[in-house]
A and B are shown apart, each in its own frame.
Chain A
Amino acid sequence: MKRDYLLFFCFLGAVILIAGFNFFSQNTSADTTSAVIFTVKISVCGNGEKEYGEDCDDEDFDSDTCQTLGFGGGTLNCSDACEFDTDACSAATPAPTATATPPPSGGGGGGGGGIISTPTPIIITQVIFKGKAYPKSDVTLLKDAQVAATTKVGPDANFETSLSGLTGGTYTFGVWAEDAIGNKSITHNFTISIASGAATVISGIFLPPSISIDKTEVKMGEVLNIMGYSAPQAEVAVIINSDNEILKKTTSQANGAWFYKFDTLEADYGDHTVKSRSTKDSDISTFSKIVAFKIGNKTIPAEITKKTVKGNLNDDGKVNLIDFSIMAYWYNRPTPPMKIDLNSDGKVNLIDFSIMAYYWTG
């Protein structure tokens, strides 16, 4: 009897151990195989509380003063974009005659103690975006699926842009970058509720690497070159989805370019996909686009042009409202052109729209 109990508890322990291992191993593998939760830091400028990404907020300077910023004295102000306004700070070595003089009054002079008119601050609804892309690349910002702004990325891969003139409400913002060879990153979306009359700062955006391959089909034993762009000196994880997932790592160069030579002997014959993601300064990007290739008995070079984007139905290099309209025209109509039927099943339906949404550039 005791033996039965012992056996039972041993069995129970084993079951829990196996299930637990299974549970945690699933979660661990999800870190490399499935979606990664993309974390951007959102702070609301104007709520009187200094948050991540803000220098200050209203009167909250987090103990910063003109002096701590290297000035001699004066009053540190906070701009509408929650950045330090040091206009009223005095130089580090003030001239002996320097005295604080009030700005001229709005009305006529004369007499003492004129009323100083302070301009009423104009409240605008603004969103500021800060993040990392690829050095010297162009970043496009989408607002509700349409292009709202473009900006140039600095050599350090950092970018900052803003949008104003918004009404309060729920917005879906998307960011994508185009690397030096015209390869576009995946569009990275985040949906947030914007408060009317406040400046919202979205920081911590880290665009996934761009990715391309030099062959669509590669002969077994030959090398497949996988390349792209990311932030400089970022660790790029290259994940080849085969029967067994293969994980490789490389580091991007100073110009953001990264390159990996994949030995096809490590994988089996058949269809495979490859994707990548970057890590820099403890920031982890989401996964890049997924690129498909085949290991077979011949080699077919890949055509890398700007116009090879899937879903680009009018050959303008973009996937946007015009392409959506062309697809909408053929939606549920018989015998659509091959180019519009993205999954080649002989009809244009929601699957094709979903594929288009994945490759969207605005």
Chain B
Amino acid sequence: MKKLPIKFFLIFFLAIFGLLFFGCKTVSASRLYFNSQEAAIGAEQEFWLELVLDAENSINTVSATITIPPDLEFLDIITGNSIINLWVDIPKWDETKRVLNFSGIIPGGFSGMKARILIIKLKTKNEGVAQLVFDKEKTEIFLNSPDAEKDPALRLDSLNISIIKGAGGSPAAIIDSSPPENFIPEITRNSNMFNGDYFLVFLTQDKGTGVDYYEVSESQEFRIGHWEFGKRKWIAAKSPYVLTNQKLSNAIWVKAIDRAGNERIAIIPPRYPLPWYKSYSIWVIMMLTALIAISGFSISIFYGGKKRL
């Protein structure tokens, strides 16, 4: 038998050592991947994919860019039940670049398995294989640490979707009849933004389809008791929202609308209500009272005069 060379022992030693050493290290990494209900999807079929996170160590920030090939038509994004509490970049689809990107934070951190980030609804076109790929440069996860360390061993699993004639794929409809959760908007101001003007901050969650957008109404109320007259003017808004009425004399209404169209309204009473003589409602009540009084007086004079005749 030939003598085993020293090189052999060295390579063997390094291989075993490396495997055990680095193998153990990667166990504690985070992983982003897709969870699909179907292994193969039929052509011209709608389906959904869940973007999921595994985090061995506590992480608090996720940012991702996903390329979706032209073989798939992008339809929608659902953020309900997401592990992300605050979106820094709201999930946005760029049709020209064919990329979906988002970023958000989980204050206090998250560690665990199979946490949903969002759901992507797609439609297949022709038969073949379509691959969803993460942009490695623009996808990152930060550990929940005081220095915001990037997870050095982030694992990104792309997904190959087989589009086969005759296979199914219609997505299960997400039934969402619940409005977004109760919330309390806050009025604040800061010398570092909006020239120190008052602005509004608001946030709520929706455990069904996710909050789609918010609307704000600052119009002066024209109400008598519980009745509000006229149509309230709503403006699509994002937090932080600079208030038009810097006197804070009106009630502010904030409406959260989920992707199923359910609404939740939060109302902030006026911080500095108008004096009575500047209120439309008071003037309307006074005018109506005056009108009734004048009418009554006129009628009484009219009939009183007739009797005398």
Contacts and interface: CB of A to CB of B under 8 A. Distances in A.
Interface of A: 1, 4, 7-8, 11-12, 15-16, 18-20, 22-23, 26-27, 34-35, 37-38, 142, 144-146, 165, 167-170, 172, 174, 186-189, 191, 289-290, 292, 310, 313-314, 319, 321-322, 324-326, 328-331, 337, 339-340, 343, 350-360, 362
Contacts of A289: 146
Contact of B21 (A22, A37, A168, A189): A22
A19 B146 contact: no
Contacts of A4: 1, 3-4
B156 interface: no
A11 B13 contact: yes
A317 to B, nearest CB: 14
Contacts of A350: 61, 63, 88, 103, 140, 142, 148
B34 interface: no
B243 to A, nearest CB: 13
B95 interface: no
B201 A172 contact: no
A15 B13 contact: yes
Interface in B29-67: 57-58, 60-61, 63
A328 B88 CA distance: 7
A27 B142 CA distance: 22
B21 A169 contact: no
Given A4-B4, A19-B21, A191-B110, A144 B105 contact: no
Nearest to B104: A353
Contacts of B309: none
Contact of B193 (A16, A27, A330): A330
Nearest to B189: A314
Contact of A329 (B1, B80, B107, B240): B240
B199 A325 contact: yes
Interface of B: 1, 3-4, 9, 12-13, 16-17, 20-21, 24, 28, 57-58, 60-61, 63, 80-83, 85-86, 88, 103, 105-112, 115-116, 140, 142, 144-148, 178, 181-183, 186, 188, 190, 192-194, 199, 201-203, 205, 207-208, 239-240
Given A23-B24, A187-B107, A331-B88, 9 more contacts: A4-B4, A23-B21, A167-B208, A189-B110, A321-B239, A325-B240, A326-B192, A343-B147, A353-B105
A356 B104 CA distance: 12
Contacts of B20: 19-20, 22-23
14 contacts: A11-B9, A19-B17, A22-B17, A142-B107, A144-B85, A168-B207, A187-B107, A189-B109, A310-B146, A321-B86, A322-B186, A354-B144, A358-B109, A358-B148
B24 A325 contact: no
Contacts of B81: 169-170
B86 A145 contact: yes
Contact of A326 (B140, B142, B182, B190): B190
A343 B142 CA distance: 14
Max chain A Cβ within 10 angstroms of own Cβ: one of B106, B145, B239:
B106
Contact of A357 (B12, B57, B82, B108): B108
A361 B110 CA distance: 15
A357 B199 contact: no
A332 B182 CA distance: 31
B193 A326 contact: yes
A4 B6 CA distance: 11
B194 to A, nearest CB: 8
Contacts of B147: 343, 355
Contacts of A20: 20
A356 B86 CA distance: 12
Max chain B Cβ within 10 angstroms of own Cβ: one of A27, A319, A358:
A358
Given A19-B16, A325-B239, A172 B58 contact: no
Contacts of B61: 350, 353-354, 357
Given A146-B203, A343-B148, A324 B108 contact: no
Max chain A Cβ within 10 angstroms of own Cβ: one of B80, B81, B86:
B86
Nearest to B194: A329
Contacts of B108: 142, 145, 172, 174, 186-189, 357, 360
Given A26-B24, A187-B108, A353 B88 contact: yes
Contacts of A169: 80-81, 207-208
B85 to A, nearest CB: 4
B105 A16 contact: no
Max chain B Cβ within 10 angstroms of own Cβ: one of A15, A16, A22, A339:
A15
A167 B178 CA distance: 8
Given A167-B207, A321-B201, A355 B24 contact: no
A35 B58 contact: yes
A174 to B, nearest CB: 4
A262 to B, nearest CB: 19
Closest 5 CB pairs of A and B: A169-B207, A360-B107, A354-B148, A189-B108, A187-B108
Contact of B112 (A191, A310, A354): A191
A332 to B, nearest CB: 9
Given A187-B107, A313-B190, A326-B193, A357 B60 contact: yes
B88 A340 contact: no
Contacts of B80: 169
Given A144-B205, A331-B88, A354 B142 contact: yes
Contact of B85 (A34, A145, A319, A352): A145
B1 A1 contact: yes
B3 A290 contact: no
A290 B12 CA distance: 41
Nearest to B89: A331
A337 B82 CA distance: 32
B23 to A, nearest CB: 9
B190 A314 contact: yes
A167 B145 CA distance: 31
